[in-house]
Amino acid sequence: METGLTKQTAEALPARVRGFIEASAADNTKRGYASDFRQFAAWCESAGQSALPASPVTVADYLAHLAQSGRKVSTIERAKAAVKMAHELAGHESPTGAKIVTVAVKGIRRSLGVAKAKKSPVLTVDVRAMLSALPDTLAGKRDRALLLIGYAGAFRRSELAGLRLEDVAQTAEGVRVFLPRSKTDQEGKGRYIGIKRGKSPATCPVRALADWLRAAGISAGPLFRAVGRYGTVKDALTPQSVALIVKRAARAAGLDSSAYSGHSLRAGFVTQGALNGATEANIMRQTGHESSDTVRGYMRIANVFTDNVSGLLGL
């Protein structure tokens, strides 16, 4: 049971309670927390300390150990969250709220800094270069559709990998995609995303998707799938496969593939939209962001030269 509960505590719970606990977080989150807590427990054992329940001093010492080991602030904060969840699920008061822990984390944040190393956004000029470098093969048609749908729809890599044909509807204006679940919608309320037809046949997301589906013979199920060496259409792509496709396309286009990731399509949508004058509200309607902080961060970068006073200095 990947929830941070001890085996003994988990087995003591009614089956239906365990079921709801297991459904309380996304699979990736549960796996991450479980892995983090196992590492914490192993460290406690080597240090002769109790992991569950753990004392505030033990937790603060462990977080300091992670910081001195070169771990990122985000990794340290996730470890703290894993310890908190494990204690709460096991019926113990969490030590992470103690003053010594909060002060230690504050010091770690100030010492290490919290700026995230962002991957480069894929802009429209980059997308065109990537598309031009794709081979005229079945895998090439898939990659063309994936890049264009991912970019125009501002999808996360996990969302692209999870799309199904049943969630896509053709309309006069383009395609309407129903996203049943996302990172910010763990309860599965779902939302619709519209992708308009492009003006150029070479870069139209709707046309590219239709070409891929027709060539692959897909009439139901996962939208984007692996393609074997001999053109065999296989199972659905994984999120990691989506990232690798973006990197491969970037490299083929002569770009630095290490600067791009699966998130680059989504980041590019926000950045290019801001450069082209899209409002924050309309960008967020497509991306599904609940907080404007992330969107504003990309918009600030995109608009750094808009009305920039350095151009008025007479240099």
Other Cβ atoms less than 10 A from the Cβ of 115: the count is 7
**CB distance 218 to 235 below 8 Å:** no
Output the pLDDT for position 231: 87
Output the pLDDT for position 186: 58
Q: Which of 112, 132, 167 is the last residue of a domain?
A: 112
183 noted as active-site residue: yes
**CB distance 140 to 227 below 8 Å:** no
Catalytic residue among 80, 84, 119, 266: 266
Catalytic residue among 78, 183, 197, 207: 183
Phi/psi for 285 (5° steps) reads -65, -35
Output the pLDDT for position 12: 46
87 noted as active-site residue: no
Catalytic residue among 33, 62, 151, 298: 298
Output the pLDDT for position 214: 96
260 noted as active-site residue: no
**81 falls within a domain:** yes
Beta pairing class for 168-170 and 174-179: antiparallel
Residues 106, 138, single domain; the answer is no
Q: Which of 112, 135, 160 is the last residue of a domain?
A: 112
Output the pLDDT for position 29: 64
Residues spanned by the domain of 73: 7-112
Residues 152, 43, single domain; the answer is no
Residues 194, 271, single domain; the answer is yes
Output the pLDDT for position 4: 45
How many domains does one find in the chain?
2
28: domain CATH number is 1.10.150.130
**310 falls within a domain:** no
**119 falls within a domain:** no
268: domain CATH number is 1.10.443.10
**3-state SS assignment for residue 210:** helix
192 noted as active-site residue: no
**43 falls within a domain:** yes
Residues 157, 235, single domain; the answer is yes
Catalytic residue among 80, 141, 156, 225: 156
Q: What is the pLDDT along the chain (315 residues), one digit of tens a residue?
A: 344 444 544 454 455 544 544 555 555 666 778 888 899 999 999 999 999 999 999 999 999 999 998 888 888 999 999 999 889 888 899 999 999 999 999 999 888 875 555 678 999 999 999 999 999 999 999 999 999 999 999 999 999 999 999 999 999 999 999 988 766 655 667 889 999 999 999 999 999 999 999 999 999 999 999 999 888 999 999 999 999 999 999 999 999 999 999 999 999 998 899 888 888 888 888 888 777 776 776 677 666 667 666 666 767
Residues 100, 204, single domain; the answer is no
Q: Which of 112, 135, 152 is the last residue of a domain?
A: 112
**94 falls within a domain:** yes
**308 falls within a domain:** no
**296 falls within a domain:** yes
Output the pLDDT for position 90: 85
**175 falls within a domain:** yes
